[in-house]
Amino acid sequence: MGKTAPTPEEIRVTLNDEAPLKRRYAMELCIGRKDIALEVVYLGLEDTDEAVRSYALITCAKRDDVALDTILKFVDDEDPCIRQAALFACQWRKDTPLELLGRCLGDDDATIRLFAMGACIGREDVPPDFIRKGMSDEDERVRYAAFIASLPIRGSMKAKP
């Protein structure tokens, strides 16, 4: 028989542990859970360990109760894993500024470009230049995401009867 998932309180206690591996594991267990309090997520975002912060940002991805500004302050982090996790979280946020997505589409890191293009998917306000830039990207994943992101734009360009 398998173990049951730790309770939110057990996770909170573990996030205060001195061992980074325990904190990483605890924050990883928060991903996708709706019963984790927002203060626990913020505790992870303030952690000194980059993996804990990264997992905390991924936890923010599908949570409506996390302010976009909270996620955006990690987009320019010096650690590429933190930047990637922040852009990953932005993929579910339709209020991510287009200016930021455009800047990230010019990033040297292909994963940053992929997640920026992923954040464009389903948005009808994406400029065609973003799609063109993504379609000509050297990374196949970015090109594919650009194609998917172009679908709403293509649909809105159809001739009206």
Q: Write down all domains in the chain, each with its CATH number in brackets.
A: 1-86 (no CATH), 94-154 (1.25.10.10)
- Which of the two residues, 145 and 32, has the higher pLDDT score? 145
User: From residue 150, how far is each of 48, 51, 98 by CA, in Å?
Assistant: 39, 33, 15
Average per-residue pLDDT in the chain?
90
Confidence at residue 143, expressed as pLDDT on a 0 to 100 scale: 97
Alpha-carbon distances, residue 140 vs 89, 91, 114, 131, 149 (angstroms): 21, 18, 9, 14, 14
pTM: 0.84
pLDDT at 160: 45
- The arithmetic mean of pLDDT across residues 8-19, rounded, is 91
What pLDDT, on a 0 to 100 scale, did the predictor assign at position 5? Answer: 80
Q: Model confidence at 63, in pLDDT bands (50, 70, 90)?
A: confident
Q: What is the pLDDT of residue 155?
A: 53
Q: In whole angstroms, what is the distance from residue 43 CA to residue 100 CA?
A: 26
DSSP string, 82-99: HHHHHHHHHTT-TTS-HH
pLDDT at 158 over 90: no
Rounded Cα–Cα distance for residues 131 and 148 (Å): 9
pLDDT band, residue 99 (cuts 50/70/90): very high
Q: What percent of the chain has pLDDT over 90?
A: 76
